[in-house]
Structure 1
Amino acid sequence: MATSAHVLSTSMAQEIIICNLCDDRPSQRFCNTCQVNLCLDCIDKHQDDIDHQPHDIVTYENRILHQRECQPPITNELTGQCQSPAAEVRYQQTQPLLDNARVLRTIRPSKPYKHLRRIVCLGTGEAWVIGEKANIKRITIHGSVKEKIICQNIPSDISLTEKGELIYSDQINRTVNIIRQGKIEVLITVPKGWQPLGICYTRSRGMLVSLQMSERNKIVYYRGEEITMEIDKDEHGNHIFRNGNDMLHVTKNINGDFCVTDENAKTVIVVNNEGRVRFRYNGIRARSFEPRCIVTDSLGHILVTELSFECIYILSQDCNLLRCVENCNLDTPCALSVDNKGSMWVGLYYKGNIKVIQYQK
């Protein structure tokens, strides 16, 4: 019987190529720009949600693959536990990573935070940072403070809107706030009993917020002030995230996945846009794993700061370990961001310094 799904012929069988966004339907198109498979229903969502221009969306006959690779389910002794759905074919793009990352600059702020926890880059020469005080600073690449926002309480996390406006979570007041013309405005008040911690403003103008109540953790997706999605339990009714007092750090990848570091479970969790767990990554075996901040870059790499071995893990979209950056003298790396030239800014928790590191070719 004929099928509308495109197939990949092999010497053994024919496999259906699944859409990378919905992770469910057969794909009929391919984005050469982002190297992802798309079903017809997800084309508009991909174009709206991801800030890569132009999107070269083509039929399979006209696709250009940087690198093709079939990913069967594996449990790898080197890379840890990556649990992949069965009978799934995915394309991995070329990974233009340096064999040895190098430090381009060490930023020593004139008044460093004692506990530097979060960084959000502004272009290539500035960044917003927060620590253990009730303020947010905008610093230059030379270390000088260009702007300072005084908050009512210590911010838990920071992010930027598509217009470059600063937003932050206030755990005490249960709000997510936005800075407009130097003034603080309430953007969202979370449900009673919950406290907002990690936040990520997405390119589709939505917002991911990790919530905590009595050690219970979940993630919600906001459109405006309305919750449109909750990521809490899997298809079997089990909680996705472990109970505990540590926060969930969250970001969104170019293929629509939600990427989370669960400090309580010491795990990186990748969830698709329907709330189903795609992968869990527990680090390199024989090593303890203490993931903290998580970001993604323009090629879909997942970058994670790790405290125990003071390094940066670089994972593929499918949670395979590509590099472990451990040659840059990273003393308790915690905060993490990627600037618009593709360099990562790594904040050192105790020293308060920031290292700008080139990791891509």
Structure 2
Amino acid sequence: MAGEDLTSSELAAPPLLPLAVEELEAGLDDLEAALTAGAVGLGLDRWFWGEGVSLLALARLARQRDGGDHPVVVAHIDPHTRRHPVLEHVNNLAPGAALAELLRTREHPARMELLVAGLDWYASAPEATRAPNGALEHWPGGVWADTVYMAGEFLLRAGEVLRREDLVAQARDQWLAHAEVLQDDASGLFAHGTHQGERIPCHWGRANAWIALAGADLVAAGADTTGEIAERLARQLTALASHQPEHGVWDVLVDGQPETRGVLETSAAAGIGAAALRFAALDPAGRTAIRAMGELAVRGALAYVEGEHLTRVSAGTVLQLIPFGYSVIRDDRPQPWGQGLGLEAIAAWRETADDPGAVTRPSRGTPGDTARHETTREQELT
């Protein structure tokens, strides 16, 4: 196409091979410890979206392990109960999901007061504008996929903790309102967002991760009363599987745009993989292809853990109006959402470890399929 700028694509580093199943399972504890330490090292002090992603993932890991509270989550949330954060954007709702998880274990008036403050902002703040179909806007005039995770995970968990079906219903309705605006009818993929009421057809990887994670949680919670979320989510994940490269990690735009080809984005793969594993576990017999995609995405993403950080994670990304815009977002430093989505991938792998629908991992206590995994993570695909 005339005018394409392939500079970023041509300079992209080659992809790594995915971790072998047995290599991942043997190193899962070390990966979790490393990514947790890296998240803490980046600082989880703000009441904002990157911190919220990491804290919710840590809360999931603690629930999966022993049902208790994760000490890192407690340490970083409780100071905000003594001095409430300023709430001025939908991204400020994200840590509320982990806050709600703390309220599952015991009553805590100060934590409850902070939870209610978030609900009040969502319901009545002048910044919480809505699109004509009711979708909570990320910015006035713009509906973004990010919002379904940042607000939706909070609403779902707050509704469960408070036993308020209206909040769970709002989480569901927000997911569907966003899907109505952002899901491409032909492909099933989700666009990043809208600009001045128009959907921009850039199918950003992390947008698809946010949508998929929130959707899988709503289906698992029984909130999908009509089955529409499951139907839309299945179409999305099936489409993502059809575009998945052999190494498991999609480009920053997941549909093979020439200008972003080879510009990989690992946090999206980690989040999509986690969602796919959870969604497939709800119907093991009917979602084997989605399961296989999820496993490959997790193995592919976690191959990029270096030291304490998930690498090749794109920085915070505002809506871009053309594909090339996504090819120049920096990905050369650690990000809290990358740590969190890497931990989400680990949590989902643990949660579904004994899923009878698993199609590639070995049975517990038996050797892996080593013939398929003769290479190590240091090798690169050419």
TM-score interval for Structure 1 and Structure 2 normalised by the shorter chain: under 0.3
Which structure features the higher share of helix residues? 2
